[in-house]
Structure 1
Amino acid sequence: MKWLDKLRPTGEPWSLQELMAVSASSPRLLVEAIEVLGMQPVAWVVETSAEINAAVDERERRRGFPTSQTGRSKRATERAFLMLLMSMRGGGSSYLSDGLPDELRSIVRADVRHGIALEVLMNRVWTVHSVAKETLTESVRAEVSPEELIDVLAAINEAAFDFANVFVRLVAASYEEEQRAWRRRRSGEQREIVERVIAGHEPPEACDATLPVLWGGLHLCGVAWLDETGHSEYIERELADFGARAAGLLDAVGVFVHESQGLTHFWWNFDAAAPWPDAGSLEHLERPPGVRLAVGSAGRGVDGFRESYHAAEQTATLRHWPTPYDVVIADDVAHLTMLLADPDAAWRFVRRELRALAGAETRIAEIRETVRLYLSGGNSRIAVAKALHLAPNTIAYRVGQAGELLGRSVGDRPTQVLLALQLVDLVPSLLAERPERLPASHPPARTNQRQHVPVDRLPLEAVLRGAGTGAGSLVGQRAANFAP
């Protein structure tokens, strides 16, 4: 491409000193560009890049995109234009064969840290490329003979297309990589603040930039983990998306997500005047496959945040047990997780209270479910009959059978019997004759060891995609409190 040698800046030829004084590129890139293109073609690129940058800003304004009136924008335009021409000289996208050069990666890194969206960045990349090619084409028309022009323009189009395809892919990949690194760093800073607050310290006064949370508002915490069926190459993104959709469903002002010891922690934050969040609504929100969730109790202020965090952590100990529920709410199971803290004692309690009602037969399982709903619903046969689609007399008959299996009336120790029934509903393995030590010998559900994504104030689209995945959720499968 000999026509490259004909590119010249306006006026007199530039000296190296003039070039170094005006250029937005590093001396290293300039030296390499001069070796490949020559002094004056490089001077033309430096001069023209400022004009391209102004033209791109104007196009972005007309299209409604945020403009990039920063030194980064000028540096990126000039450096990308230099590499385009160097690649044309070398053939194809040869100067991108080793990935995005540090000259441009540093600019992408700065854009990530300044919160520039990938959509905005990619729009600018394509616009700069388009304007640069138009400018180059017009300059070539003035320097190349009509006989050569068609072939030269075809060569420019082919080389520019090849370069753009590789360049755009590398910029997008670099953006995602830099974003992950930035999130990991911010995640560590956020986790340090959270751990100090959990330990009893007051939130730091100057933490808004790192952790912009309304400490005086309402808080709801959750803990997620993967069961044995869970696997996804994109689990980070899927968990971040779930946290954002949950924030929209709950009407939270923000959500923070971070990983700690193999578990993914969600923290939804609400205005102080917001209504109390309905944690149970999360049971019906679609989750990534294989993800199970423990949700704490909502709380107000710093103390409320601590309580919600601890409640979610305590509820998440159910990951050590084989439970049929995918979503568990602290308000529903807090009393049960306390009993399960001593597995042997919980097993003995179930055997002592249920006696023959702990049998494995299908008929006895039906009786257990009936009595659990009966006792939790205010002893209303009619309400339980409606819930199970049975006749009230059938409910009465099953309650009577339960008394025979217990060796006493169901009403003699209703609280203890109900607790035992709730335990075996949550952890059916407690019905075993003598289970192996639980949960010590029962391995926890597999967790994903990749770093999850901390999310700062994600857009709160309330996307509700129907029922959750897996075996169901606790409130969704239990009967509501029945009126007599």
Structure 2
Amino acid sequence: MTPQRPAAGREWLLDLKPRGPDTTSTAASSPATVAETISHVGETPVCWAIEVGREMATTIIREIPAFGGGEGPFQTLRKGTESSTLRAMVLLAFPDVQLSPITEEALEGDREFVRRGIALDKVLRGIRLGHAGMAQAFLTACESLVGPDRVADEMKAVSEDLFGYIDAFSGSMVTEFLAERDRWITSAAAARAETVNQILAGDEIEVRAASSVLGYDLDRCHLALIAWANSPGEVSDLERIAEAQLRARGATATLAVPIGSSALWAWGSIANDADPAPQPAPPVHADIRIALGLPGRGVDGFRRSHEQATRAERLARLAGDRATRVTDYAEISAIAMLAEDIDSARNFVERELGPLADSTSQVSALRETLLQYLEQERSISTVATYLHLARGTVAYRVKKAEAMLGHEVGQRRFELHAALLLAQVLGDAVLPES
């Protein structure tokens, strides 16, 4: 698509190019926003804006962790930073065009910030950080693309235009934030969320009144679940999957509390606090992850099961692609406790494994063989059968691993076993950088 002719002096905007591999297919903004921007400035500057928007979102989350929490929240924030960069680029190139300074993507993020409980002062700080990153990107490009005879004047004009843009943008964000907060506060969902937060915080509550607000009996035995998506989507999808998982584990009633658009807390009432026997449940979509706590009775069990699910969620997020789609605290509680302090866990793994902590595939195979060797009570034949290897291969790997450790596996066996488990479950999160 041929770009339009921009205002005099702003032709340099059509020469913007990304440094990296971003294309329009990697955009977080809506196809309509991308197409509209391409119609004004062309495709390559749009790719530049996509790259800048990603960098802005990364910076904001690094400086204000409340905006983070996984891939879903990151993508929601990136929609806002990217679409705002696209909109600013059009308004810089075509000052007379009639476009709102704020995009629907940014407003969508604004509404999610309210539902996630992010304070207005953090939202405003995020806007200031985003503006700083956007301005720096535009001014750096201007300096390199505009001739020396007019670069100083152009940079001054761009700076003033961006200040006016972000001023109008901030005003619209504040207006929408306050309106959404008013809507949220008066909603039944907010009342449920507030009651749940009081329970989780350990506040004194009247159990019967809280059960009435929640529409869920707190006197029963509870199994907590956390569901999250790697990209923003329909909360109803998470609710449906969470309910199916809880019902398969014997729940007769469920409670779901959305946390933004890409996460959900849920509980199910089960018959007793024994480990529930899972029944076949619908498969979990590849983009969705589930974490489960242990059953617990009453308000304390409600809270404790959620805390355990939170630890399982944290471990799954640390494990990244290694994590299974469903992480059950009953199965990973020991590893979760070992990884509570991830820096200490990383130091422990490096200290106990030494060269055996290398992240190469060859050393990873040695660790897997050694772990199975310990778990199978040092039976070479059992390990060979389990890993589909020749007995000689298993024996060779064990000897090689012992040589790298500097001692036999019988020494410091507990510490060695724990370090191998951490490396298997968490991978790069606890292995030293290559």
TM-score by length of structure 2 reads: 0.51
1:233-282 CA-to-partner distances (Å, cap 9, x unmatched) read xx22211211221133112111211123663112111124x853147x78
Kindly state the Cα deviation for residue 411 of structure 1 after the two structures are TM-superposed.
1.5
User: Does the 8 Å contact 1:231/1:290 carry over to 2?
Assistant: no
Q: Which moved more, 1:306-315 or 1:322-331?
A: 322-331
Kindly state the Cα deviation for residue 347 of structure 1 after the two structures are TM-superposed.
1.7
User: Does the 8 Å contact 1:222/1:295 carry over to 2?
Assistant: yes
Q: Equivalent residue of 2:212, what SS?
A: coil
Q: Equivalent residue of 1:390, what SS?
A: coil
User: Does the 8 Å contact 1:349/1:420 carry over to 2?
Assistant: yes
Say whether 1:358 aligns with 2:352: no
The aligned counterpart of 2:95 is none
**Corresponding letter in the other structure for 1:220:** L
The aligned counterpart of 1:347 is 346
Aligned pairs for 1:38-57 (under 5 A) are none
User: Which of residues 209, 223, 237 in structure 2 aligns to 1:220?
Assistant: 223
**Corresponding letter in the other structure for 1:195:** N
The two structures, once aligned, show a CA RMSD in angstroms of 3.0
Kindly state the Cα deviation for residue 357 of structure 1 after the two structures are TM-superposed.
1.1
State the distance in 2 between where 1:392 and 1:276 align.
Answer: 38
Kindly state the Cα deviation for residue 202 of structure 1 after the two structures are TM-superposed.
4.5
Say whether 1:192 aligns with 2:194: yes
**Corresponding letter in the other structure for 2:220:** G
State the distance in 2 between where 1:277 and 1:344 align.
Answer: 34
Aligned pairs for 1:278-293 (under 5 A) are 278=277, 285-293=282-290
Say whether 1:269 aligns with 2:269: yes
State the distance in 1 between where 2:250 and 2:431 align.
Answer: 43
State the distance in 1 between where 2:292 and 2:186 align.
Answer: 24
**Corresponding letter in the other structure for 1:346:** A
State the distance in 2 between where 1:293 and 1:184 align.
Answer: 30
**Corresponding letter in the other structure for 2:218:** W
Kindly state the Cα deviation for residue 412 of structure 1 after the two structures are TM-superposed.
0.6
State the distance in 1 between where 2:223 and 2:185 align.
Answer: 22
**Corresponding letter in the other structure for 2:187:** R
The aligned counterpart of 1:303 is 300
In structure 2, stretches of 5+ residues that fail to align are: 1-182
User: Does the 8 Å contact 2:422/2:430 carry over to 1?
Assistant: no
Q: Tell me: CA distance 1:268–1:408, structure 2 relative to 1, closer, same or farther (3 Å).
A: same
**Corresponding letter in the other structure for 1:221:** A
User: Which of residues 291, 296, 309 in structure 2 aligns to 1:294?
Assistant: 291
**Corresponding letter in the other structure for 1:206:** A
Kindly state the Cα deviation for residue 345 of structure 1 after the two structures are TM-superposed.
1.9
**Corresponding letter in the other structure for 2:412:** R
The aligned counterpart of 2:327 is 328
Kindly state the Cα deviation for residue 199 of structure 1 after the two structures are TM-superposed.
2.8
Q: Tell me: CA distance 1:192–1:361, structure 2 relative to 1, closer, same or farther (3 Å).
A: closer
**Corresponding letter in the other structure for 1:304:** G
State the distance in 2 between where 1:197 and 1:371 align.
Answer: 44
**Corresponding letter in the other structure for 1:311:** Q
The aligned counterpart of 1:368 is 367
Q: Tell me: CA distance 1:185–1:386, structure 2 relative to 1, closer, same or farther (3 Å).
A: farther
State the distance in 2 between where 1:354 and 1:292 align.
Answer: 30
Kindly state the Cα deviation for residue 393 of structure 1 after the two structures are TM-superposed.
4.3
User: Does the 8 Å contact 1:220/1:298 carry over to 2?
Assistant: yes
State the distance in 1 between where 2:190 and 2:407 align.
Answer: 57
Q: Tell me: CA distance 1:206–1:296, structure 2 relative to 1, closer, same or farther (3 Å).
A: same
In structure 1, stretches of 5+ residues that fail to align are: 1-180, 436-484
1:439-478 CA-to-partner distances (Å, cap 9, x unmatched) read xxxxxxxxxxxxxxxxxxxxxxxxxxxxxxxxxxxxxxxx
Kindly state the Cα deviation for residue 361 of structure 1 after the two structures are TM-superposed.
3.4
Flag the structure with higher helix content: 2
User: Does the 8 Å contact 2:221/2:295 carry over to 1?
Assistant: yes
State the distance in 1 between where 2:339 and 2:215 align.
Answer: 36
**Corresponding letter in the other structure for 1:266:** A
User: Does the 8 Å contact 1:371/1:402 carry over to 2?
Assistant: yes
Q: Tell me: CA distance 1:243–1:344, structure 2 relative to 1, closer, same or farther (3 Å).
A: closer
User: Does the 8 Å contact 2:319/2:429 carry over to 1?
Assistant: no
Kindly state the Cα deviation for residue 294 of structure 1 after the two structures are TM-superposed.
1.8
Number of corresponding residues: 248
User: Does the 8 Å contact 2:226/2:313 carry over to 1?
Assistant: yes
Aligned pairs for 1:93-112 (under 5 A) are none
TM-score by length of structure 1 reads: 0.46
**Corresponding letter in the other structure for 1:209:** S
Kindly state the Cα deviation for residue 424 of structure 1 after the two structures are TM-superposed.
1.5
The aligned counterpart of 1:211 is 214
Q: Tell me: CA distance 1:301–1:333, structure 2 relative to 1, closer, same or farther (3 Å).
A: same
Q: Equivalent residue of 1:351, what SS?
A: helix
State the distance in 1 between where 2:238 and 2:249 align.
Answer: 16
State the distance in 1 between where 2:282 and 2:379 align.
Answer: 31
State the distance in 1 between where 2:263 and 2:235 align.
Answer: 12
Q: Tell me: CA distance 1:397–1:300, structure 2 relative to 1, closer, same or farther (3 Å).
A: farther
State the distance in 1 between where 2:321 and 2:206 align.
Answer: 36
Q: Tell me: CA distance 1:268–1:401, structure 2 relative to 1, closer, same or farther (3 Å).
A: same
Kindly state the Cα deviation for residue 404 of structure 1 after the two structures are TM-superposed.
1.1
Kindly state the Cα deviation for residue 226 of structure 1 after the two structures are TM-superposed.
2.2
Say whether 1:246 aligns with 2:245: yes
Q: Equivalent residue of 2:331, what SS?
A: helix
Q: Equivalent residue of 1:210, what SS?
A: helix
Kindly state the Cα deviation for residue 183 of structure 1 after the two structures are TM-superposed.
12
Q: Tell me: CA distance 1:386–1:341, structure 2 relative to 1, closer, same or farther (3 Å).
A: same
State the distance in 1 between where 2:343 and 2:327 align.
Answer: 22
Q: Tell me: CA distance 1:400–1:217, structure 2 relative to 1, closer, same or farther (3 Å).
A: farther
Q: Equivalent residue of 2:207, what SS?
A: coil
Kindly state the Cα deviation for residue 350 of structure 1 after the two structures are TM-superposed.
1.1
User: Does the 8 Å contact 1:358/1:364 carry over to 2?
Assistant: yes
The aligned counterpart of 1:338 is 337
Q: Tell me: CA distance 1:323–1:352, structure 2 relative to 1, closer, same or farther (3 Å).
A: farther
User: Does the 8 Å contact 1:370/1:399 carry over to 2?
Assistant: yes
**Corresponding letter in the other structure for 1:324:** R
State the distance in 2 between where 1:370 and 1:194 align.
Answer: 45
Q: Equivalent residue of 1:206, what SS?
A: helix
User: Which of residues 313, 317, 320 in structure 1 aligns to 2:314?
Assistant: 317
Q: Equivalent residue of 1:405, what SS?
A: helix
